[in-house]
Amino acid sequence: MHGRLFLPWPVVLCGLLALSVLSGCGYKSRPVSPQEIVPKAVTDLQYELDDKGVTLRWTYPAETVKGDDLSEILSFKLYRAVVAPEQYCETCPIPFGEPLDIPGGAIAAGKPRQAVYETTLLRPGNLYFFKVRSRTGWWAESEDSNIVSFMWNIPPAAPADVTVQPGDGRVSLAWAAVTARMNGTPIREPVGYRVYRSQGGGPFTPLTGLLNETGYVDTKVVNGRKYSYQVQAVTMYEMGEVGGGASQPVEAVPVDRTPPPAPVGVKAVMTSTGVKVVWDPVQHRDVRGYRVYRRVEGERQPVLLGEVKVPATIFDDRTPPGAVRWFYSVSSIDGASPVNESPASEEAEMFR
């Protein structure tokens, strides 16, 4: 026969109270993350403004704070602060709000991965601050990244009346000054401009830094190639800048209009078959050939006898005139279409 053990109720009550006290014991603050899995802080947070809003970019941390490789970032915490310019204090703490959770992902060995976040939820006339943290686990969170900040306002209107003038090894652009924002309100801040260029149907990329003028000369071109250009207006603030929309594209094809130098050292010698004309080669990258001219005494304009291609610097006149005195001159030509021809050389004189 089995008996049962009965405890007096005061003993049971004391035991329950003891358990409740023990169960209430625990950490009073968040546990410290194991250093083996805490990622390094992001150091390259950057932003780019356009007429719609802001794009933030940063690189996934690839190592822990102890230098071990990471294969995955669980998520990012993106913090944002909005401050009115009149309330900004350089030495005051930045009032960051609750973070936005952004999913992370895998990190391939040796292949940096970039995170991108875009937002159009910006209020005109305010300062914005952003920072980011990386997480590899529930308790494993990095330190703060670098902080980026900028002023946001209604962007300036796109430049109008953009004109383009192709030249020899250059393209000149001009446009009207931008004085209003996209909503038509006047701009009181300084306005700068950036020029973007596309070649061969490719994407537009920045060609210049911030310009104060309403014109630009592009000398980094190749004659005969087609280039497209756009111009963007930028309003400048003490805390940053706001870029507007781009102008309508304009196209230009620079054309070679510069002739090569004239030949020198032209000489003419009578031979058994006629007259041999020789000259010194022109040392210029554009020279593709030479034209030989003849002028009889008493005539004002010489007559073209023929052309020779480089590297030849000799020409045979097999039908010299029956005159007593005549002259030869030589010009150089390039490979442009139409060709550019140099001035004529000094004349070489012949007698009978």
Domains and CATH numbers, the chain: 46-152 (2.60.40.10), 163-252 (2.60.40.10), 267-351 (2.60.40.10)
What is the four-CA torsion angle of 319, 295, 343, 265, rounded to 10 degrees?
70
Token digits of residue 15: 């035991």
pLDDT in tens, 290-314: 999 999 999 999 999 999 999 999 9
Residue 224 region, left (φ>0) first, then alpha (ψ -120 to 50), else beta? left
CA-closest candidate to residue 130, choices 144, 120, 112, 113: 144
β partners of residue 173: 164, 216
pTM assigned to the model: 0.61
Residue 4 in tokens: 């049962």
pLDDT at 31: 54
Other beta carbons within 10 angstroms of residue 70's beta carbon come to: 19
Per-residue confidence (pLDDT) for residue 132, from 0 to 100 = 98
Tens-digit pLDDT profile for the chain (352 aa)?
444 433 344 444 444 444 444 344 443 445 544 566 899 999 999 998 888 899 999 999 999 999 999 999 999 999 999 999 888 888 899 999 999 999 999 999 889 999 999 999 999 989 999 999 999 988 899 999 999 998 888 999 999 999 999 999 999 999 999 999 999 999 999 999 999 999 988 999 999 999 999 999 999 999 989 999 999 999 988 777 888 989 999 999 999 889 999 999 999 999 999 999 999 999 998 899 999 999 999 999 999 999 999 999 999 999 999 889 999 999 999 988 889 999 999 999 999 8
Q: Is 29 exposed, middle or buried (0-12, 13-18, 19+ CB in 10 A)?
A: exposed
d(CA 175, CA 177): 7
pLDDT tens for each residue of 54-98 = 999 999 999 999 999 999 999 999 999 999 988 888 889 999 999
Q: What single letter denotes the amino acid at residue 335?
A: G
What's the pLDDT at 200?
A: 87
